[in-house]
Structure 1
Amino acid sequence: MKILLVKLSSLGDVVHTLPVVQDIRAALPQAQIDWVVEKSFAPLLARSEGLHRIIPCEIRRWRKSFWTAATRQAWRAFKHDLQQEAYDAVIDLQGLTKSALVARLARLAAGGKRYALANQTDGSGYEAPTRWVADVAIAVEPHIHAVWRSRELAARALGYRFAAAADFGLKVAAAPAKTHEHFPKGRVAFIHGTSRADKEWPLSHWVALGQRLNTAGYQLLLPHGNAAELATSEAMATALNGAAAGSALVPPVLALDALAEELAQCAGVIGVDSGVSHIAVALDLPHVQIYNFDTAWRTGPDALGHGGRQLSVFAQPAPGVDAVWQAWLACSTAGVAA
């Protein structure tokens, strides 16, 4: 059986969909699973156990220059790549017009069908063309976590039951945790970057939390993905390294696969609600996720069954340093024998 998953973006949504691959592999071990995704997220999917083919696209970029010859050529190349296989099932896991278009362009095998969501779920985008294009539109419970939304849709489309625990299936190279002579507990990554300013945590809070972690024996890793995030990382590092050189490290920009490897060698991650924070969840790292809005029920780690190793903290206008620190203490010691 050949199955095509369509989940183009964003990073957090792609991460939330990863367990679908492992669910299908467990239920249908002979299935060939392909996935269409925005090119910038393809390196992360390359770490997904069991994917046969990753089909990259750049719809975000193409729609900004759809009239150019270069875009038309790139679109034709993508369409040719997409249609190399005929699929028994095409599952639109995104529910938007752009994903419906990709699902419609995909080639079906004899008897094959296209599946999609029949309804919007709380807090998620949804556009009607997704169900117009589908042969089978499947209604799911509106009040549902993002991970379970995708798992439920795929399971009902393909006729299987999935295990309660979500297996994200990310492959990372085994390597010892990175340590420093003055920070024997290893590194904690601060994921401060987010596409929405109203999800950010105050810089002063990050610095105060970093000081506590340094005192407790942790070095800090401050990744970034753009110039604004780099400036924030450098500001944190300047504040923290003034007390002790090497307290905080600012790495170069890393592709998502390399970033996943770097995070996997950390003692844990503390971050705002962002795609990179969700990678920490997928890696099953001790993790605190910071929310300025009461939306952790649909994107946060608490509901995913990680035995207290991953928690979300919510307050308005933003959680305090003490609340995040206490959550970190709980996450970092969960499952450790007294």
Structure 2
Amino acid sequence: MKVLLVKMSSLGDVFHALPAVQDAFQQVPNIEFHWLVEEAFADIPNWHPAVKKVIPIAWRRWRKNLSSAAVRAEMKAFYQDLRSTEYDIVLDAQCLIKSAVVTRLAKGPRYGLDKTSCREPLAAMAYQFPQSVAKGQHAIPRVRQLLSQVLNYTIPDTFSYGIDKSRWQRPEMGGDYEGEYWLFLHGTTWDTKLWPESYWIDLAKLVVDSGRKVILPWGSGEEKSRAERIARNIDGVEVLPKMGLNALNAYLAHAQAVVGVDTGLSHVVAALEVPSVAIYGATDAVLTGVLGPKVEVLSSDLGCAPCLSKQCTHPDRNDGNPAQPPCYRSISSRRVFAAVLGKLG
């Protein structure tokens, strides 16, 4: 059986679909997935053995310059590639208008959520066989239920993303260090999702004092500067060079533990089944947060959290230490350190 899975973006959304793919891989003999995904995430579906082809789409880039001849040529090539295969099932696992339009272009019977289950109900008009899946659940069990209904199997009791982390070899550490290390995912998109820098510094000291090393990746100039400030004057903290996801995965896969905030890379860690703690303040972990057998989520207990706002409006935001926003005052460095140790057993 050949299934086209449409799950385009974002990074977290792509990982939300992997447990469903693993379920189907275990339950349906000879199943083969082709995965339509944004070009920035095209490497990820190939990590699962059931995915035999990845079809990249560059809609985020194309929409900025639709009048360009080069862009139109890319779109034509994409359309021809998409139409080159007849599928037994075409499944939109995102069920947004943009993904529904792309689903409508593919060859094969089209499945997705019905209008009462979709976040964007208009998307359901693209599907010949709309499915009902209850809202109010985390995205991962929703996709698992959707795929199990379409393929008519019982969801297994086990939970796995189906990724073998041994495909990434342990990287060489700085100097002669070969001991255990923790990796900090300190960067994210909103200021309100950032755990305070002083907390990262205190946590780094706790980790180093316990005989472990700390690794700090970065992806922007701002993140590099923060990493350098965290590492300053602490022996045993290493700032990595800038690198792509596959290179970084080697560090993630072989870390003893990872501490992160609400960022796409925290979903990668969950999929690799590395012991980790994910810190949530302004955003909500209930419906789309990090989920996995070795992840503990620490969420703010502030009354206004999660506010889902890019700017803090709490009346105490400037009281006391402004570098310690109200969201995170209950999630101290020592609390995070203890939570990680708990995951390590």
Q: Shorter-chain TM-score category?
A: 0.7 to 0.9
What does residue 295 of structure 2 align with? 310
Give structure 2 stretches of 5+ with no counterpart: 303-326
Contact residue 17 and residue 140 of structure 2 kept, 8 A: yes
> Which residue matches 1:203?
197
Mapped partners of 1:29, 1:268: distance in 2: 35
In the alignment, what sits opposite 1:157?
Answer: 150
Aligned partners of 2:31 and 2:50 also within 8 Å: no
Classify 1:212/1:119 alpha carbon distance in 2 versus 1 (closer, same or farther; 3 Å). farther
**TM-score under structure 1 normalisation?**
0.87
- Measure the CA separation in 2 of the matches of 1:107 and 1:94: 18
In structure 1, stretches of 5+ residues that fail to align are: 334-338
Is contact 2:111-2:129 (8 Å) kept?
yes
Alpha carbons 2:170, 2:250 under 8 Å: kept = no
C-alpha offsets along residues 154-190 of structure 1, whole Å, 9 cap, x if unaligned? 1111111121232211233264586678976411111
* 2:223 pairs with 1:232: no
Partner of 1:62: 62
1:63 Cα offset (Å): 0.9
Match of 1:336 in 2: none
**Residue 211 of structure 1 aligns to which amino acid in structure 2?**
K
Taking the aligned partners of 2:252 and 2:101, their CA distance within structure 1 comes to 35
2:112 matched residue in structure 1: 116
CA contact (8 A) 2:266 2:290 kept: no
Deviations 1:133-167 (A, max 9, x none): 01111121211111111111111111111212322
2:159 is the counterpart of 1:171: no
1:256 maps to which residue?
245
- Determine the structure 1 residue equivalent to 2:91: 91
Query: Of residues 260, 276, 293 in structure 2, which corresponds to 1:271?
Result: 260
The change in CA–CA distance for 1:260 and 1:119 in structure 2 (over 3 A counts) is farther
Paired residues of 1:194 and 1:273 also in contact (CA < 8 A):
yes
Structure 1 counterpart SS, 2:217: coil
The structural deviation recorded for 1:324 is: 1.2
Paired position in structure 1 for 2:234: 243
Kindly indicate whether residue 315 of structure 2 is the aligned counterpart of residue 330 of structure 1: no
Contact kept? 1:119, 1:140, Cα under 8 Å: no
Does the 8 A contact of 2:39 with 2:57 survive in 1?
yes
Q: How far did residue 68 of structure 1 move?
A: 1.3
Equivalent residue for 2:14?
A: 14
Tell which deviates more after alignment, 171-180 or 13-22. 171-180
> Amino acid of the residue matched to residue 170 of structure 1?
I
Query: Residue type of the partner of 1:146?
Result: A
Residues 226, 118 of structure 1: alpha-carbon distance in 2 compared, 3 angstrom cutoff: farther
CA distance in 2, matches of 1:69, 1:135: 34
Q: In the aligned structure 2, how far is the partner of 1:23 from the partner of 1:45?
A: 15
**2:171–2:250 Cα contact (<8 Å) kept:** no
Matched AA of 2:299 = F
